[in-house]
Structures are given as structure tokens and as C-alpha cells.
Chain A
Amino acid sequence: MTAEAPATEPSRIAGAVETRLALDRRRRTRSGSELVVGLALVVAAQLALSAVGGFPESWAVPLADWIDEARRWVINNQTTHWSFSLVFNPISDSIDWGLRTVERFLLWLPWYVVAAAGAMVATSALGMRAGLLAAAGVLYFGAIGLWEESLQTVALMTVAVGISVAIGVPVGIASARYDRFQRNVRPLLDAMQTLPAFVYLIPVVLLFGVARVPAIIATVIYALPPVIRLTDLGIRTVSPATVEAAEMFGATPRQTLRKVQFPLALPSVLTGINQTIMMALSIVVIAALIGAGGLGQVVLESLRRLFVGRALEAGLAIVVLAMLMDRVTHGAAGLGTRRRRLRLMPDSLERLGFVRAIEGALGSVDRALCALGAVLARPMRHAPGLAPLARRPRWVLGLLALVVTTVVSAVLGRPEFPSAFTFSFASAMDWLVDWVRDNLYEIGGTRFGTGWFSDSITIYAVTPLRELFSTDLAWPVVVLAVALAGWRLGGVPLAMFCTACVAGLGFLGMWTLSMDTLAQVIVAVVMAIICGIPLGVLAARSDRFERMIKPVLDFLQTIPSFVLLVPVIIMFNVGRIPGIIASVLYALPAATRLTNLGIRQVEGEATEASRAFGATRGQTLRKVQLPLAAPSIIAGINQTVMLVLAMVVIAGLVGGGGLGLETVKGLRRTDSVGSGFVAGLAIVLLAMLLDRLLQAWTRRFTPVEGGP
């Protein structure tokens, strides 16, 4: 320190400290007092309006009647009006034709050819072990006597995914190319992804009626966004330097796209297709409600008649299908860990001599087959369309083998799936259900058990909350509270949007049902967060724990929402609670994953610096890791809420009540399509409301580029 330092320095610093402390205090009291004032407002409004109660039913707009009218008009004009004969019917007919063709082809193939084909695809994407598992999976379809239904679902999926990709990839490319186009498509995609799958079924039913084609159309609409989004993203993230280099060599835009951008974007596109497949699968199952048939139909029918065992069998088939498709497309996108092709045993057994011998032998067989394939492929090399195939001798050989087997089988007469191979564990499951009911409901005669658990949730959480929202609170108070939240998070525009959405629920005549659904969503979200975030924190702190729960989370995320209900019903019977539990299970992975990810992404040196100053693990977590992971955690909560909403709605199928049940009724019975449509609309409003609020909340936590 030099002598000429100003003598006033200490006092200047003291002043600065004072102002800073005062500022901090003011900031804290301000956000505190805002909360207090808001609460006081709500309470005062409630006291003033205590006599008002739920939304007056007489104010509801008779939308349902209008819809029914429209539906009648559609039925009457289906054959005559131009929009049907020129637009809807041709679409419908061609899709139907495609579906029939695929389905007939798949069912015509002998069962062992299908199994072998599945094994081949899985082997080439993931390795031999996966191939064997795939074959086993396919055989499972036949073994439980659901061969036909399974292939129907596969056919449905093939067509729906095919259409999605055929539309999605070009749209994605266009949206990567033209910023204006992207700006227009974006909000639409956002909206499409916000809505629960379920909602798509209703308008499609209105226009196309109840059958498999509308199911496909609904599936395509629902599953389209990921391909578009990820194609766009993949192309846009190709480094500008690479594109510049291509242009420097005089490539046309089309050449640049074909030779540089698209190949580089391919992993991203494939990820998109993977997501599309998973989404398609989840809705194809639900689409059984509108006559899509297939495995979904079996699950649905069985659940409806409370044949839980059968439902589980079929549900398992869907899970097998989902896992197969997920892993294979994942592997094809080069995302998973690629195993060596010919490994059959766990790597830890590699030391054993005989394991190495077996794998060595497999290797020589593989080499021999490869050589044979190469010989067979030689003539193809100059055929225009077949050249790429010629470079893959294994494929050539495999395909030839499949074709030959198929033809031979066709000549000899197509074999049915041998009945000797079939089995069923449905009755065992039913026994288990009974056992659970008898023994876990009140474990060992105490009052604790699943019964106590679900009763407690019902009595202390769901019912009071529902009563509070739907009848105890005056409806303007609910509107006010939501509007205040909107105002706090996103200013006046969001407040107005929220007001419109909540009031809209009332004007649709869906006040009580919406509040019921909302109560369930809130309970499930709270439960999912209470379980999910601590799990995420634990996973972030211990690699062992992360490795342990990863497969569980993967599994939960692969199961289509609807199928997840089945095992939960085994534990908790039907009603509102299984819906809530299933929602928690369905949404939990998102919260856990993103918490874990967020904490792990915190820069190593920041955590280290905190440790270097002697912070305890708790302090480091509180002061450094959690605040830095906040955006990610909130994104997780955001997803949790949307997933819960989707699931709670679906749980309407198993006695969840609320908007979901109303929608299902509309899908099932033609005379209540109108009210089903209105309920669907209410779901849309609810989804948009929650989504916008959450988005605004997320934005507050995302650090703005360059400062607060």
C-alpha cells in the first residue's frame, strides 16, 4: 500500500457496505411482502365471496351440443360433400390401403422369419446379445398367444412412423433452411408437444370416425414434432465453418445439404425418429379406444373387465416392443455404447478360456459367412439401386436366407405359431392380484399397507384439495389466484392469458371436473418432486447410486404411459390413487434425471473452489451446486408437471375421474362425442395454462446472457 492512498478509503468502503446491506434487506422484504399482499388479497376475496362457490353451471356455453350437431352433419354429408370426397376420404383410403398391405405382409410371413429378422436388425445395431434378446422378445408375442395383435400394432407403428418421417424430415429441413418458416412452425410444435396424447383422438374422430385410420392420423400428429425439431436442430448445429468450406468449393445449396449437412445431422435425425417411435407407441396403445386394435385393445379390454393378469401379459408385450424399438433405433443413431458384435457373455467372463473359445468360434463362422456374402454380393455391385447393399455382405446373406426361407415355407404351406410353445401367466398374475389385495392392503392385520396408503392420500390430500378448488373457494378467487401467479411470473400478458384459461374452464362447463383433475395433478406433482429431486441429488453425489437407478429410470421412461397403469392397479386397485401413483412413477425419471444432470454439469472448479474454502458438503450443495443446477431442476419440474397431466388424464380410464374420464366417455359412445370434445378442450386449456406458467418460471431462472 502506498502512502498517498486516500485517507477517506475506509469510510468510503463502510458507506458502500451500508448501502449494499440496505439494498439486500429491501430486496428481501419486497419479495416477502409481495407474497403476503397476494395471499391477503386472495383471502380477502374469498371472505367477501364466500357464498359464490364453484362456477355457475348456467353460464356454460353449450359447446357440446354444437359439436354433436357438427358430428351429425359430418355423418350425413360423408358421402356427398366435396371436402370428404376430395380431401378426407382419399387420405383415409390411402392410409387404410397402406396399413392393410403392411399388416397382411407381416402376418403372411412365417413366425420364425419375423423372429430372425428382428434378431438381424438388433444384431447389426447393437450386437449379438441384443439380437438373441430380440428374437426372444418376438417369440414372446407368439408364446402368449398375441401374435396377430402384436403384428397389428407393429403394422400400425410402421405406417404411422413412416408417415411421420416422410413428413417430418422434409419439414425439418425446410425449417432449418428458412428462418421465417421456423418461426411459424415453432409455436405450433410447442403446442403440439404440450398437449396430452389423448386430446388428439377427439377431433380426428369427429372428422374421420372411429377406426384405425383416425388412430394413425392422431398418432402422426402427436409423434411428428420430435423428427421436425431434431432434423432442424441437427442441420442448424452443423458448424458454419464446415458449410462455408463446402460453399467455397462451389457446392450448390442442395449439394451442401445432401453431402455435408444432412450426413452430419443424421445422428440428431435418428434421435428424433427414436423419440417419434416412442411417442407413437404410447399413443398407438391408447388409440385402441377409437378402434385401433392390436395389443392396446387387449390391454384395454382386459382392464375394463379387470382381467389384470391378461392385461399385464399384453402390456409386457408392448413393453418388449417398446424396448426393442427404443434400443435398436438408439443403437442405430450411434448413441448407446456399442458392444463388440460377437460378445455373448458379460465382459467379466472374458477371462474364462471356454468363453473366449466360443466367441472365437463365432468369429470364424462370422468371417466365413461374410466371405460367402461377399461372393453373393459381387453381382450387385453394378446394379444401380443395390450398390450400398453390396458393401454389407452380412445383410446380403441374411436377407437372402430370409427370402429363401419365406418362399420355401410359402410353398410348403404357412406354419402357424406352434401351440406347444404357448404359455400364459395370466392366472398366476390374477392370483397375485388377489394375494396383494388380501395381504398388502393391510399388512399383517395392522392398519398399514397399500390400503392405508391410498386412503391417506385420498383423505388428506386429493379430496380436500378437490373440494377446496371446486366448491369451497369461490371461482373468482381461483381465477384471481392464478392471475396473480401469472402476473408475478410473466407480467400483465401472462396474467391475462391465465385469467382467460381459467375462466374458459368454467365457460366450457367443466369447472368441477377440471378442478378434480387439477387437484390430482398437484398431489402427484408434489409427490414426484419430493421423491424425484432427492433421488437426483443422491445420484449426482454417488456414481454407484447413479449406475444403480439408471436402468430403473430407463425402464420407467420406456414403458408407454398406459401400460404403466397395469402393475400399479395390481398394487392399488382401481380408482384415483393408482392414477396418481402411476403419474408419479411416469414423471419421476424426468425430475431425477434433470436434477442429477444439472448438478453434475456444474463446473468442476466451482465445486472445488467451494471445497477449498472449507465448505461442508451441505454448504457446497446449498450455496453452489443447487443454485447453479436450478435451471435444469426447474426444467425437470416443468417436464414433471406435463407428464403428470398426461398420465392423470389417461388414468381416467381406470377410475381416475375428472376430465380424462369425460373424454374417454366421448370416445367410447358416439352420443357423447360433444362433451368428450369439450372435456378435451378443457385439458388443452389446463395444459396450456400450466405450460405457460412453468415456462415463465423457468425463464426467470435461466441466466440472461451477460447478466441478471
Chain B
Amino acid sequence: MKGEFGGHYIGPVVTTEQTPLECHEVTKVFGDNLAAARTLLAGGCDRQKVLDQTGCLVAVRDATFSVERGETFVVMGLSGSGKSTLIRCLSRLIEPTSGTVKIDGTPIGDLDDQELRELRRQRLSMVFQHFGLFPHRRVIDNVAFGLEIQGAAKADRYERALEVLSVVGLGDWADHFPQQLSGGMQQRVGLARALCVEPEILFFDEPFSALDPLIRRDMQEELLSLQARMRRTLVFITHDFHEALKLGDRIAIMKDGEFVQVGTPEQIVSAPADDYVREFAEDAPKTKVITVGSVMQPLDGEAPPGEPVGLDAVLEDVLPRLLANSEALGVVDDQGNVVGAVDRARVADLLGESSRASAARAGRGAERR
């Protein structure tokens, strides 16, 4: 099942040190009465009010972020919070109502049709939430579509397509039609199609949602190894917080079209901005995310005895030692200077606090009922 996403490279290699993807105050409003909606938004009206007064739906509002080369940027949020709309704005599949998207420093809003097409052919690719496969083409022709559009020779594109297909474990299904495949298999065809062109920037809209847990884990591993080797720029939408933690370098949480919090997994877990984010982070394996650095006490006086631990070790790694003896552990930074200490009580506090909070929430829920 394991394989390699990379192969020989088709298309130009771009080695610019520009930030690959920047997104500044991107807003998308659906509806006819855009002018009125714009004025209301500028005046700071909330989404419901805009909807009531103009009939326009604000799907994404003032999304600002940038993604570095080699980074995986995860977007999460409830259904209808505007994730798919946002990711479509990034390649202008949907024209943003306002705001700018820059790819390698070029605002894509300024590109004409031809330039935009070139950009999409050479640099971008996307996995669609509902797969977006072409039902009239065999699996292999689906996967090879991007290369076909780029004008690659048939033999070349079939070769590459077969390679990618075997990576996603569908090597034997090349000549079938999409309807003959199960949902999860179709999703992998969509994945293979996006990877086939070896793009620099990948947009993944819930790419693993239909996969069974085993294949899903395989695919996640594949993606991680791809990232380690090729350092692509990824925007990744998911509903699965564990997946977000595993893959994401940074996570953005969306609500009603707006980012409520953007941060590293640890920041999201240890310092959720509000209840909405907290609920997402609730059942996260905190000990796997939170680092020693964020729970330690600054050092006052003597460094604790015993082998110190690193600043960015996660709690899981130090828990056995903390549980084994009641002594505090010293914490050292990269240079080896002791900067703080962490003890059993600190960790218990942190873990206990969040479970108390969730118990309290459950209690409130029960009262309401």
C-alpha cells in the first residue's frame, strides 16, 4: 500500500522564496444584491443581519492567512461554515467578492483568463469534497486529465497516472468507470487525480472523509511523507480533529464564515479562543499535543535534580517519569540551559481543568434539558 507520490517532475520547478499562498481579507457573498451587502459589511453588520436585509449570504468573511512552503494549513469548522467556499476562492473557482489572494506574491485577481489557466495547470490542484470525478471517463483518464490538459503525450500521462494509482492502491482499477467504484475508492481516484500533476500548491477539501480508518491512516502517512520529501504547500479541510492535529502545522477554526482562531495544534488545544473552539478541541489527546514548555513554571532558585527534559517535548513523553516519582523535572531549552521546572501537580491541574470544564458544560446541558 505504501508508495511514493513523487516521480519524475512534469512542469516547471519554481524556486522562489516568496510565500506561496497569501490570503488577505477574502470575503465571499452569495446573492444578487451585492452592493447593499458590501455597505452593510463595511458598517460591521453581522451575517444574520446582512441576510435579513439583503437576502445575501456571507459565506466567507475577512479570511486572512498565509501558508509557507512545506506547511500544511488545516481548516476546520461546522457544516456550512464556509470552508469549501474559502478553498474555492483560493483558485478563483469562485470569484471572491473582495480581498486578495496572492500566489507566489502575484495577486491572482489580476490574472486574465489565460494566465489563470496557466497557473492552475502548472501550480495548483484540488481534491473535491464530492470527488467531482468525470463519470464518462475511465479511472485512468480521470487521473490523467490534468496532464491531458497540459498537453502531455498519451504514453507519458498514462505512465504517470498508473504510478499514482498504484500509490493510492487502485492500480488494478484503471480501466473501470467511477460509478463502478465504492465511495472510498472514488475519493482515492480524486486524490490521485490531484497528485498526478505534481502541483506546488494543493487544496484538499475533506479528501479522506469517505475512507475507512485503515486506508485513511495510510493516506495520512503518505501525505506526511510527501510533505517531508517534497515540501508542498497544502490547504487541508477536515472535520476530524485528530487528523488536523496529525497533519496540520497550523489549524484555523471557522465559524459562520469567519476565522475564530488560527494557531498551532498546541495553541488551539491549550488555549482555545472561545467555547466553539474548545468544543472542537475537547476530545483531543492533549498529552500528545501540549508541550512541556507551555506548562512549566519559570525557574526560581535551584534546578531540580535528575535528567532534564526538552522545552518542546510533549507531555506524553514525560508523564511516565512524573508518575514514577513525585519530584519535579527540570526543563532545558535548545542550548541546554535550564529554564524551568514541571511537576506532577502542574500537569494534573491542566488535565483536570479541562475535564472539569467539560463536566461543567455537561451539567449545564443537563439543566437546560
Inter-chain CA distance A124–B141, complex, in Å, is 55
Check B135–A615 contact: CB distance below 8 A: no
Inter-chain CA distance A708–B175, complex, in Å, is 10
- Partner among B93, B131, B140, B158 whose Cβ is within 8 Å of the Cβ of A611: B93
Inter-chain CA distance A624–B162, complex, in Å, is 21
Inter-chain CA distance A613–B196, complex, in Å, is 11
Closest residue of chain A to B130 (Cβ to Cβ) is A605
Question: Is A703 close to B, CB under 8 A?
Answer: yes
Interface flags for B239-255 (1: CB within 8 Å of A; 0: not) read 00000000000000000
A10 vs chain B, min Cβ distance (A): 8
- Partner among A611, A614, A616, A703 whose Cβ is within 8 Å of the Cβ of B135: A703
In the complex, chain A residues whose CB is within 8 Å of the CB of B136: 627-628, 630, 703
Closest residue of chain A to B203 (Cβ to Cβ) is A612
Closest residue of chain B to A20 (Cβ to Cβ) is B158
Check A609–B158 contact: CB distance below 8 A: no
Check A13–B159 contact: CB distance below 8 A: yes
- Can you list 29 A-B contacts (CB < 8 A)? A1-B2, A1-B225, A2-B2, A5-B4, A13-B162, A14-B159, A20-B158, A20-B175, A21-B155, A24-B154, A603-B135, A605-B129, A608-B93, A609-B133, A609-B193, A612-B93, A612-B124, A612-B126, A613-B120, A613-B149, A613-B197, A614-B120, A614-B121, A616-B117, A623-B145, A627-B136, A703-B135, A705-B179, A707-B180
In the complex, chain B residues whose CB is within 8 Å of the CB of A21: 154-155, 158
If the complex has contacts A21-B158, A605-B131, are A13 and B124 also in contact, measured as CB distance less than 8 A?
Answer: no
Inter-chain CA distance A611–B118, complex, in Å, is 11
Inter-chain CA distance A13–B174, complex, in Å, is 12
Interface centre among A14, A17, A612, A616 (most CB of B within 10 A): A612
In the complex, chain B residues whose CB is within 8 Å of the CB of A630: 136
B8 vs chain A, min Cβ distance (A): 10
In the complex, chain B residues whose CB is within 8 Å of the CB of A628: 134-136
- Enumerate A281-320 residues with CB–CB distance to B below 8 Å: none
Where the two chains meet, the residues of B that have a C-beta atom closer than 8 Å to any C-beta of A are 2-4, 88, 91, 93, 116-122, 124-126, 128-136, 140, 145-146, 148-150, 154-155, 158-159, 162-163, 166, 174-177, 179-180, 193, 197, 225
If the complex has contacts A13-B163, A612-B91, A614-B121, are A5 and B149 also in contact, measured as CB distance less than 8 A?
Answer: no
Closest residue of chain A to B205 (Cβ to Cβ) is A605
In the complex, chain B residues whose CB is within 8 Å of the CB of A16: 158, 162, 174
B168 vs chain A, min Cβ distance (A): 13
In the complex, chain A residues whose CB is within 8 Å of the CB of B175: 20
In the complex, chain B residues whose CB is within 8 Å of the CB of A609: 126, 128, 132-134, 145, 193
Interface flags for A620-651 (1: CB within 8 Å of B; 0: not) read 00011001101000000000000000000000
Check A619–B149 contact: CB distance below 8 A: yes
Closest residue of chain B to A16 (Cβ to Cβ) is B162
In the complex, chain A residues whose CB is within 8 Å of the CB of B119: 614
- Partner among B118, B174, B177 whose Cβ is within 8 Å of the Cβ of A707: B177
Check A614–B118 contact: CB distance below 8 A: yes
B116 vs chain A, min Cβ distance (A): 8
Check B159–A608 contact: CB distance below 8 A: no
Check A706–B179 contact: CB distance below 8 A: yes
Closest residue of chain A to B177 (Cβ to Cβ) is A707
Interface flags for A12-33 (1: CB within 8 Å of B; 0: not) read 0110110011001000000000
A704 vs chain B, min Cβ distance (A): 10
Inter-chain CA distance A616–B146, complex, in Å, is 12
With A1-B225, A605-B131 already in contact, 16 other A-B pairs whose C-beta atoms are closer than 8 Å: A2-B2, A9-B166, A13-B166, A17-B158, A605-B130, A605-B132, A608-B93, A612-B93, A612-B120, A612-B124, A612-B126, A614-B116, A614-B146, A628-B136, A630-B136, A705-B179
In the complex, chain A residues whose CB is within 8 Å of the CB of B177: 703, 707-708
Question: Is A361 close to B, CB under 8 A?
Answer: no
Inter-chain CA distance A135–B131, complex, in Å, is 54
Closest residue of chain B to A706 (Cβ to Cβ) is B180
Closest residue of chain A to B161 (Cβ to Cβ) is A17
Check B117–A614 contact: CB distance below 8 A: yes
Inter-chain CA distance A24–B131, complex, in Å, is 26
Question: Is A610 close to B, CB under 8 A?
Answer: yes
Question: Is A606 close to B, CB under 8 A?
Answer: yes
Check A613–B146 contact: CB distance below 8 A: yes
In the complex, chain B residues whose CB is within 8 Å of the CB of A615: 117, 149
- Enumerate A691-708 residues with CB–CB distance to B below 8 Å: 703, 705-708
In the complex, chain B residues whose CB is within 8 Å of the CB of A708: 177
- Partner among B116, B131, B149, B179 whose Cβ is within 8 Å of the Cβ of A703: B179
Check B128–A608 contact: CB distance below 8 A: yes
Closest residue of chain A to B114 (Cβ to Cβ) is A616
Interface centre among A5, A17, A603, A623 (most CB of B within 10 A): A17
Inter-chain CA distance A603–B132, complex, in Å, is 8
A262 vs chain B, min Cβ distance (A): 35
Inter-chain CA distance A610–B117, complex, in Å, is 11
Inter-chain CA distance A628–B125, complex, in Å, is 22
Inter-chain CA distance A9–B2, complex, in Å, is 13
Top 5 A-B pairs, shortest CB-CB distance: A605-B132, A1-B4, A614-B121, A614-B120, A609-B132
Check B150–A606 contact: CB distance below 8 A: no
Inter-chain CA distance A624–B149, complex, in Å, is 12
In the complex, chain A residues whose CB is within 8 Å of the CB of B117: 614-616
A583 vs chain B, min Cβ distance (A): 32
In the complex, chain B residues whose CB is within 8 Å of the CB of A623: 134, 145, 148
Inter-chain CA distance A619–B134, complex, in Å, is 13
If the complex has contacts A17-B158, A610-B145, A707-B180, are A5 and B3 also in contact, measured as CB distance less than 8 A?
Answer: yes
B126 vs chain A, min Cβ distance (A): 5
In the complex, chain B residues whose CB is within 8 Å of the CB of A20: 140, 158, 174-175
In the complex, chain A residues whose CB is within 8 Å of the CB of B133: 606, 609
Check A17–B155 contact: CB distance below 8 A: yes
Inter-chain CA distance A16–B175, complex, in Å, is 11
Closest residue of chain A to B140 (Cβ to Cβ) is A20
Interface centre among A2, A614, A630 (most CB of B within 10 A): A614
B303 vs chain A, min Cβ distance (A): 43
- Enumerate A577-614 residues with CB–CB distance to B below 8 Å: 603, 605-606, 608-614
Closest residue of chain B to A705 (Cβ to Cβ) is B179
Closest residue of chain B to A24 (Cβ to Cβ) is B154
A21 vs chain B, min Cβ distance (A): 6
Interface centre among B128, B130, B132, B148 (most CB of A within 10 A): B132
Check B162–A17 contact: CB distance below 8 A: yes
Inter-chain CA distance A460–B174, complex, in Å, is 49
B111 vs chain A, min Cβ distance (A): 12
Interface centre among A14, A609, A623 (most CB of B within 10 A): A609
Closest residue of chain B to A615 (Cβ to Cβ) is B149
In the complex, chain B residues whose CB is within 8 Å of the CB of A705: 179
Check B176–A707 contact: CB distance below 8 A: yes
Check A612–B125 contact: CB distance below 8 A: yes
Check B134–A613 contact: CB distance below 8 A: no
In the complex, chain A residues whose CB is within 8 Å of the CB of B146: 613-614
Check A613–B158 contact: CB distance below 8 A: no
In the complex, chain B residues whose CB is within 8 Å of the CB of A9: 166
Interface flags for A118-134 (1: CB within 8 Å of B; 0: not) read 00000000000000000
In the complex, chain A residues whose CB is within 8 Å of the CB of B159: 13-14, 17
- Partner among B132, B166, B179 whose Cβ is within 8 Å of the Cβ of A608: B132
In the complex, chain A residues whose CB is within 8 Å of the CB of B129: 605
Inter-chain CA distance A645–B166, complex, in Å, is 53
- Enumerate A416-452 residues with CB–CB distance to B below 8 Å: none
Check A707–B121 contact: CB distance below 8 A: no
Inter-chain CA distance A2–B150, complex, in Å, is 30
- Enumerate A459-496 residues with CB–CB distance to B below 8 Å: none
Inter-chain CA distance A612–B193, complex, in Å, is 11
Inter-chain CA distance A391–B65, complex, in Å, is 61
A428 vs chain B, min Cβ distance (A): 43
In the complex, chain B residues whose CB is within 8 Å of the CB of A707: 176-177, 179-180
In the complex, chain A residues whose CB is within 8 Å of the CB of B148: 623
In the complex, chain A residues whose CB is within 8 Å of the CB of B166: 9, 13
B277 vs chain A, min Cβ distance (A): 30
In the complex, chain A residues whose CB is within 8 Å of the CB of B4: 1, 5
